Amino acid sequence: MNHSVNRKLLSDNKLEPTFAERLKTFREDHAPRKKVLFVTPEYTGLIKAGGLGDVSAALPRALLHQHDVRILIPGYRSILQKNFPMKIVARLEGLAKIPACKIGQIQLENGPIIYLLLCPELYDRTGSPYASPEGNEWDDNHIRFARLGLAAADLALGKGHLSWRPDIVHSNDWPSALAPAYMALRHQSTPTVFTIHNLAFQGLFNPETGNDIGLPAQVFNTEEMEFFGKLSFLKAGLVYSNSITTVSENYAREITRPEFGCGLHGLLQKKSAQGQLQGITNGIDDSWEPSTDPYLVESFSPRQWEAKRANTRYVENRFNLAANDGPMFAVVSRLAPQKGVDLTLGIADSLVRAGGRLAVMGTGDSSLENALVKLAKRYPKQVGVHIGFNENESRRFFAGSDFLLMPSRFEPCGLSQMYAQRFGSLPIATCTGGLADTIEDGLNGFLFKEATLSSYNEAIQRALNVYEYPELLNAMRCHAMNSPQYWRESVRPYHQLYQQVINKRPYPHTGTTHLISGGLRQCR
């Protein structure tokens, strides 16, 4: 059993910053406000498929104190149906098979200005940002997301008569990765930042699709957009942007190795050696506050464990589970191979035998969904499964559980473990990616070495042991609740990065081709 909790907590006193450090901080804090166009396919509050939506909503809001950040996102049907007051602020031309579009401006309460990319033939559809309601990816995704990248590049160039022109274009994951590509090919001077939220999603298309989106055939080479015979949007983001970030320090190291690099580790090693790849660990937004959360059955602070327990009762009633004093385990997750849900299915019997209950909320692979539903039928009093996702209810799962299961095979950062920690639920997670950066084993959660049943089982056993010692359990809960960083406390590295990419200009031309006034020409 790990008894180092209190010793570690007491030894956490920080050293005073030196004069030089304070001066640097002062200079950074008083640097001129920059105009940042944050380009993303998801934004929590409008549309989301996972953590990218959460970061896209929370990070820009935290940056607003120092910068004029505005969002560019496709105007999907589900967003337009919310009927926000909107004004049309720009019109942009098409390119090849990319249709022309309009830009509509909306603003949510306490949030940045949002530019909606209005192009009904591409976005006025039901389903997720990427796929039909049946889960089939749209055939024209290359055009849908080239439209997004091209619009960002056009706005940076001042096209469309929008009076606001960004100083920096910050794009996120493959759906917005063509922004730096179009910008580099047209020799635009606005600096670009590209953030990798998940290297496993690459936006790979047949090479012929390059014609449809106005790319010159010459970009189809291994130094630019070719990836094993496919046209890779993600690779374009890596090749053409001036600076790359990813969402935790550990993942930034991992992706330079073959095991995690998804075939791009060589390029990422090069970028890292050139100082162009940096890990900045995600934070969480201010709404993850258990003492004020309106969606909890009862709100609570550290040590108000009876109030936390009321949320456990909610989860029990929700699934008609046995109301006893055994530990409550939760899974709140996309149901995908990445998340190791199959491993949780593998340990479920032993968890139930040990007196635990399991509550699951998630959607994803139908085979995993079916297996979970079957498990709940086998153990109706111990296992409850909700196939679906509801943000507000997910908060009761975090608050109502003692432990959150996250046996991910890889995890760029992970937000769910931090949400759980804030709500006093201890994550049990693989020691990978951002999980390793945000969980301290035996202090605010449990880490296990590799995503295997034996390694996972060993961590579950340690968690069950701690559950037997309420004093230790509660000390860990208190530490966990104070562990995750809010974006407002952790946004500084992005602020510094924005200063750096602006100061470093001009950038040498990347790649071998460039685009002139709508057409493309090869450079010498």
In DSSP terms, 486 is beta-bridged to 284
Residue 198 or 241 having the CB closest to ligand GLC: 198
- Contacting range for ligand ADP; rule: CB under 6 A; set: 43-51, 83-91, 147-155, 181-189: 43-51
CA distances from 481 to 62, 289, 304, 440 (A): 21, 9, 12, 13
In DSSP terms, 87 is beta-bridged to 105
Q: Are 419 and 284 in contact (CB under 8 A)?
A: yes
SS3 state at 497? helix
Nearest distance from C-beta of residue 140 to ligand ADP, angstroms = 23
- Contacting range for ligand ADP; rule: CB under 6 A; set: 62-70, 159-167, 220-228, 410-418: 410-418
Give the one residue of 332, 383, 435, 491 binding ligand ADP; rule: CB under 6 A: 332
CA dihedral (427, 431, 432, 433) in degrees, to 10, reads: 60
Cα–Cα nearest to 57, from 495, 487, 421, 490? 487
394 binds, among ligand GLC, ligand ADP, none (CB under 5 to 8 A by kind): ligand ADP
Nearest distance from C-beta of residue 50 to ligand ADP, angstroms = 3
247 binds, among ligand ADP, ligand GLC, none (CB under 5 to 8 A by kind): ligand GLC
Residue number of the CB closest to ligand ADP reads: 51
394 binds ligand ADP (CB under 6 A): yes
Distance between CA atoms of 136 and 133, rounded to whole angstroms? Answer: 7
287 binds ligand ADP (CB under 6 A): no
- Window 47-76: contact mask with ligand ADP (x via CB under 6 A): -xxxx--x----------------------
CA dihedral (100, 156, 220, 237) in degrees, to 10, reads: -120
Residue 122 or 360 having the CB closest to ligand ADP: 360
SS3 state at 436? helix
Phi, psi dihedrals of residue 107, rounded to the nearest 5°: -145, 130
129 binds, among ligand ADP, ligand GLC, none (CB under 5 to 8 A by kind): none
Nearest distance from C-beta of residue 266 to ligand ADP, angstroms = 25
Distance between CA atoms of 282 and 55, rounded to whole angstroms? Answer: 7
List residues near ligand GLC by CB under 6 A: 50-52, 55, 197-198, 247, 282, 411-415
For ligand ADP, the binding residues (CB under 6 A) are 48-51, 54, 332-334, 362-363, 389, 394, 413-416
